[in-house]
Amino acid sequence: MTAALVQAVPRPAPQRVRVRRKIYLFLFAFGFIAYLQHASITIAGVPMMPQLGMNEEQLSWLFDAFILGYTIMQFPGGLLGQRFGARLTFVVIGLVAFAAMLATPLAPVLFTGVTLLVVLLTAQLILGLAQGPIFPVCAGVFEAWFRPVRWPLVQGVQSMGLQLGAAVAPLLIAPLMTAFGWQRALLWTTLPALAVIGWWGWYARNTPAEHPSVSAEELAELAPTSAGSAPQPMSWARAWTLLKDRDVLLLTVSYLFMNYVYYLLSTWVFLYLVQERHFTVLESGLLAAAPPLAAAVGAGVGGYMATMLSARFGIRGGLRIIPLLSLPAAGLLQFLAVDAVNAYLAVAALALCYACVELNEGPYWAAIMHVARTDSMAASGILNTGGNIGGLIGIPIIGYLAHHHAWTSAFLLGTALAVVSAAAWLLVDPTRSAARGVLAMQP
């Protein structure tokens, strides 16, 4: 839609709460629900193992099935988002994820043995496929609905919502499992997603210019190209340019290494507390909420700090200050956690480590958006593909080490990878004019 047509559309009076903030609340909710869904299986895995005759390595297969599907759909999910728009994409993937979540607790009622394991693996694979496009598509919505100066903040605060979902999971699932069993706990926590999906389908639009409630004043607050541009299918030439772009590749490799640490903390802490630190399930449920709560704070603070530092030192300097400091700190905290004699000090170190990791979500995602601009959905899909390959590789390694009670090795590997991840930022320049210029010239 051109700027002239945008101006010609009759616009309502300005609203006290801008429409873009309401759109943002939906994206916050989608992230919260996604992480609640994913984290639920990591909590339910503890009683699932003895009840279904599984061990830690088989449980890690379920985690890996999710990550495999999630990883596969990152870049294709971004392409689909650019082709069909965020409104339709979120409705479809939300309903598929809802069905996959229902299948997990219902499967043991119908199947046993190897067949049951295959069904559970398939359900987790489909859940991963459905959730894969969420954050690449969110990046495109942020690019359209928010000014560049706000990108680190909106990305960081959304990551806060993800971690709040992960933090709620043990607090909610553990007592429900104790009272009613893991199957009912998963069923009851899945149902609210339907309301969010339906409300989004009714209210949302792909761009500010398409939304009937957006005022002329709100459109004027946004860049004209962002406010009026509809989702554009991506050509093979533009896709190839993104895939070989230097800064896209550097950010992706760095994010891959960082996400080994992320998945170690987000997926395995509950089992670590039960198996290695000998807490009860209920105690572990409470204590396992501490790292994601700390991570939620870290994500929000990191987004705010990246916004302020970018304004002070420029995009390139401002975005890389946080990873250069916080990722080595995360590496040190992992070492301190496994070496701590006191179990509660270990939990505190893991919580601080997770906060240091999540400080970086705003910088990573804002950087990739600066590189790709209107192709942010596709470029973010590449970034998150790398991030989830870190989980895809790391989860079976951690599962093997956990099965052999070699937790120290799992965390020390994370220490080394966190330092390498930070070093890659020395070579990243999100404002590299040549890269953006090449992308802009592609049809």
Q: How far apart are CA 81 and CA 73, in angstroms?
A: 11
Residue with the bigger pLDDT between 103 and 395: it is 103
> Which amino acid does the sequence have at 110?
L
Q: How far apart are CA 86 and CA 136, in angstroms?
A: 10
- Banded model confidence at residue 308, pLDDT cuts 50, 70, 90: very high
Is the pTM here over 0.85, yes or no?
A: no
> Which amino acid does the sequence have at 182?
W
Predicted confidence at residue 75, as pLDDT, reads 93
pLDDT at residue 440 is higher than 70: no
Predicted confidence at residue 367, as pLDDT, reads 95
Predicted confidence at residue 226, as pLDDT, reads 53
Written as six digits, the tokens of 316 are 């390139």
Picking from 180, 194, 220, the residue whose alpha carbon sits closest to that of residue 47 is: 180
Lowest-pLDDT range of 62-66, 78-82, 355-359: 62-66
Q: Are 183 and 41 in contact (CB under 8 A)?
A: no
SS (H, E, C) the chain: CCHHHHHHCCCCCCCCCCHHHHHHHHHHHHHHHHHHHHHHHHHHHHHHHHHHCCCHHHHHHHHHHHHHHHHHCHHHHHHHHHHHCHHHHHHHHHHHHHHHHHHHHHHHHHCCHHHHHHHHHHHHHHHHHHHCCHHHHHHHHHHHHCCHHHHHHHHHHHHHHHHHHHHHHHHHHHHHHHHHCHHHHHHHHHCCHHHHHHHHHHHCCCCHHHCCCCCHHHHHHCCHHHHHCCCCCCCHHHHHHHHHCHHHHHHHHHHHHHHHHHHHHHHHHHHHHHHCCCCCHHHHHHHCCHHHHHHHHHHHHHHHHHHHHHHHHHHHHHHHHHHHHHHHHHHHHHHHHHHCCCHHHHHHHHHHHHHHHHCCHHHHHHHHHHHHHHHHHHHHHHHHHHHHHHHHHHHHHHHHHHHCCCHHHHHHHHHHHHHHHHHHHHHCCCCCHHHHHHHHHCC
- Banded model confidence at residue 4, pLDDT cuts 50, 70, 90: very low
User: pLDDT tens digit string along 235-260?
Assistant: 778 888 888 899 999 999 999 999 99
Q: Are 268 and 394 in contact (CB under 8 A)?
A: no
Residue with the bigger pLDDT between 290 and 4: it is 290
Predicted confidence at residue 223, as pLDDT, reads 62
pLDDT at residue 185 is higher than 80: yes
Share of residues in the chain with pLDDT > 90 (%) = 46
Predicted confidence at residue 285, as pLDDT, reads 62
User: pLDDT tens digit string along 72-102?
Assistant: 999 999 999 999 999 999 999 999 999 999 9
Q: Are 125 and 66 in contact (CB under 8 A)?
A: yes
- Hey, CA dihedral for 246, 251, 257, 260, is it positive or negative? negative
Predicted confidence at residue 39, as pLDDT, reads 80
User: pLDDT tens digit string along 206-240?
Assistant: 989 899 998 888 888 876 545 445 556 777 788 88
What residue ranges define each of the domains in the chain, with the CATH number in brackets?
16-441 (1.20.1250.20)
Predicted confidence at residue 190, as pLDDT, reads 87
How many other CB atoms are found less than 10 A from the CB of residue 68?
21
How many degrees, rounded to 5, is the angle at CA 332 between CA 167 and CA 302? 50
- Banded model confidence at residue 7, pLDDT cuts 50, 70, 90: very low
What is the rounded average pLDDT for all residues in the chain?
85
